[in-house]
Amino acid sequence: MKKFKALLIAAVLVSGSAIAQDRPIHEVYSMMVFNFTKYVQWPDHTAAGEFVIGVVGNADVYATLNTWYGGKPRGSKTYVIKKFNSSDEITDCHVVFIDKSKSGEFDAINNKVKGKGTLVITDKNGLGEKGSGINFKTIDNKLKFELNQKALEASNLKVSGALSSMAILI
């Protein structure tokens, strides 16, 4: 069963590069952000309430996440998608996706959510090493992702081995 689950995860996440040819990139990012949430455990994972995904700087990713996943259940929680225009607007989130257009605000956003159990996902070379939990990266025209284990541990997040095995570990 574990082997099957790992293969299924691999197929879903790795297919992002194949999907990217048929879908707009904001849809690919939306699917991957959502799928990452399935393989990360948060400190408050058993509590009821909202599971908040924040999007900074990409209206298309926000709209797609909200349309596809907003209001859907996640265990005892419900997915809520929030759009933020800047670091000043950030409130408590389980996930925050920072579009490359807002990567200049990475430090401010990362400092604001540090230690609060927030998965920071970025889309610009160098931000994985700088402290993003997951960073999208294009290699040989294929969408890949980096996983910063120290950043995730500092946020008290636990990542499945299957997700780690597909990532570029930094």
Q: Measured between alpha carbons, how far is residue 96 from residues 22, 132, 139, 140 in Å?
A: 26, 10, 23, 27
Alpha-carbon distance of 71 to 157, in angstroms, equals 23
Q: Which residues, including other chains, have CB under 8 Å from residue 151's CB and lie 6 or more apart?
A: 120, 131, 132, 133
* Dihedral angle of Cα 154, 8, 74, 130, to the nearest 10 degrees: 20
Q: Return d(Cα 59, Cα 61) in angstroms, integer.
A: 6
Q: State how many domains the chain has.
A: 1
Q: Which domain holds residue 91?
A: 2-169
Q: What is the pLDDT tens value at each position of the chain, 170 positions in all?
A: 444 444 344 444 544 444 445 899 999 999 999 999 999 999 877 778 999 999 999 999 999 999 999 999 998 999 999 999 999 999 999 999 999 999 999 999 999 999 899 999 999 999 999 999 999 999 998 999 999 999 999 999 999 999 999 999 99
CATH number (domain holding residue 133)? 3.40.50
Per-residue model confidence (pLDDT) at position 21: 57
